[in-house]
Amino acid sequence: MNDQIKIKSALISVYSKEGIEDLARKLESFGIQIISTGGTYDFLMSKGINAVSIESITSYPSILGGRVKTLHPKIFGGILWRRDQLADVGDVEKYEIPSVDLVVVDLYPFEKTVATTGNEDEIIEKIDIGGISLIRAAAKNYAHVVVVSSSDAYQTLLETLSKSSGYTSLSERRHFAAQAFSTSSHYDTEIFNYFNRKEDIQAFKQSKLSSVPMRYGENPHQKAIFYGNLEAVFTRLHGKELSYNNLVDIDAAIALIGDFTDPTVAIVKHTNPCGIASRSSLKEAWLDALACDPVSAFGGIIIANGTIELETAEELNKLFFEIVMADGYENDALNLLKSKKNRIILQKNSFEFSQRQFKSVLNGVLEQEKDLLSEQKADFQCVTIKHPSPQESDALVFANKIVKHLKSNTIVLIKNNQLIGCGMGQTSRVDALRQAIIKAHAFGFDTAGSVMASDAFFPFADCVEIAHEAGITAVIQPGGSIRDVDSVNYCNEHDISMVFTGIRHFKH
């Protein structure tokens, strides 16, 4: 392999013409001959940039409505021939194949087309064939050819050529090739995932080109990177860079708040809601969410499902918290919240999240549907003699929305659309209930008249026994234990209403 190679000819075939005029003029200034296709050729010629058309090399016009332009031995031979192989040199001379030292491609925008239309004919036409083939061919032959597969790399190419008078090194070409295979693999992944929407091919394929290095991972000794486009999800209006743990908590907070339509504020700590309330205003919702557990709220993440106005911001500003996220902010509220230098202020954007989630486990990946079910009163099966009152039914719906967002085993206590106690991450459901009651009492709440939600069934009657002792009057749980009757009988004997949903909400 010859390390230093001078570029003498370049093939340019781009969908988007943005930036290509400047690039082509620079290449021309280096004395590089430009070969080009259809629309790109016409564009360059209209700008006064000399180019050789593909048709003049192949003696074939663009055919099949533009589907076939570059797929020809004289083009791919010019890219793939090995300059240090005598047999390849002989073939190139015999068949009069012009050499191509640089390939510049911008692919048809398949991903963007899928996002903007449901017309399958239009989507299929945006599957690039010639461009992706050019990229792979040039990248494979990086020993002799430079490949640029995205306009993002135009400036890097120019800097590389400028510093070495048109020459490139083997390591530089290999780097461009790696970027090209990243482009092509991402492109193919998006096409597969589009087709697999209507199929059921069991293959895990995900690709994210955007990335953001984190300050560190879950702990300072762990390195971390986020792959994806955060700007699509929210706009950072103020504050320091986000951390790994911040993003995990933000993800949990957005999922939680999405289950509520009334003015609601939630406080999240280590992905668990430690305070949440729905009220007629965000200010009232914030004050009651904070009252749930003002100790845990310190340094937490606050999320609201509306626009934060000044009077709410004034109350928020009294507490130290890391992040606040809302649908919007009035100007005076935003200016007040910005008074703390490092406080992170995020504005939530309208974004459609995937309905699937995955995590690395052992030597592979687990993928599942997200838990998007949120049972309503119509889904309740009352299994006790006493039925919940309308107010209790509303509270049970509220409680059941929250319980699925806490780590199992978990119990939630609710009163008047306010979380008053919760136990989560316990190995025993009894311990989760006791923790919830202790926390409620610790912060001055009377559990008498409250309702209880459990993420899974009660294997024994002990939970409803403890609930009765605490004055809890209504219970919601999935049901499904072989000893459900024990809990039902106890509730009947002690005037407690209980409903089954048939839906478990484990979260690990």
- DSSP-derived 3-state class of residue 503: coil
Cα atoms in the 13 Å half-sphere on the side-chain side of 268: 28
Cα separation, 368 vs 388, whole angstroms: 34
104 phi/psi in degrees, rounded to 5: -120, 120
Residue 444 has which token pair? 């001055």
The DSSP secondary structure of 212-240, one letter per residue, reads: EE-S-SSSTTS--EEES-GGGTEEEEESS
What is the length of the chain? 508
Cβ-based neighbour number of residue 308 at 10 Å: 27
Cβ-count burial 103-138 (b if 16+ within 10 Å, e if not): bbbbbbebbebbeeeeeeeebeebbbebbbbbbbbb
Cite the DSSP H helix spans in 310-456: 310-316, 331-337, 390-403, 429-442
Angle in degrees, CA 320, 325, 326, rounded to 5: 125
Instruction: List active site positions.
Output: 140, 270
Q: Give the Å distances, CA to CA, from 141 to 3, 120, 380.
A: 13, 34, 64
Task: Scan for tokens 């200010």, then name that residue.
Answer: 283
Q: Return the amino acid letter for 187.
A: Y
What does the alpha-carbon distance between residue 74 and residue 71 come to, in Å, rounded to a whole number? 9
- Joined together, the tokens standing for residue 5 give 């190679």
Q: Which residues contact 121 (CB under 8 A, 6 or more apart)?
A: none
SS3 content of the chain, % helix, strand, coil (to 5): 40, 20, 40
| Measured CA distances, 311 to 134, 201, 268, 284, 307 (Å) | 60, 53, 22, 10, 12
Angle at 59 between CA 55 and CA 64, to 5 degrees: 65
Best CA proximity match to 18, nearest among 104, 132, 125: 104
Amino acid at 373: L
Which residues have CB under 8 Å from 425's CB, separation 6+?
Answer: 272, 406, 407, 408, 409, 410
